Structure 1
Amino acid sequence: MFEEAIKNYLEEKGYNKINLKAVLFDMDGVLFDSMKNHAKAWNKAMSIYGMNLSEEEAFMHEGRTGASTINIVCTRERGYNASEEEIKKIYQTKSEIFNSLPKAEPMPGAYTLLRNIKDSGLQPVLVTGSGQLSLLDNLNHHFPGIFQKEFMVTAFDVKYGKPNPEPYLMGLKKAGIEANEAIVVENAPLGVKAGVAAGIFTIAVNTGPLPDSALLDEGANLLFGSMLELSEKWDSVKNEMCR
Structure 2
Amino acid sequence: MNRPVLHDYFRSSASYRVRIALNLKGVEYDSHPVSLIDGAQRSDAYRALNPQGFVPMLEIDGHRLTQSLSIIVYLDQLFPEPRLIPADPADGAHVRAMAMSIACDVHPLNNLRVLKYLKGTLGHDQPTVDEWYRHWICEGLGPLEAMAAPRAGAFLFGDEPTLADVCLVPQLYNARRFDVPLDLYPTLVRADAAARALPAFTAAHPDHFAPRETQP
TM-score, L = length of structure 1: 0.27
User: Of the two, which has the highest radius of gyration?
Assistant: 1
Question: Going by fraction, where is helix more abundant, 1 or 2?
Answer: 2
TM-score, L = length of structure 2: 0.30
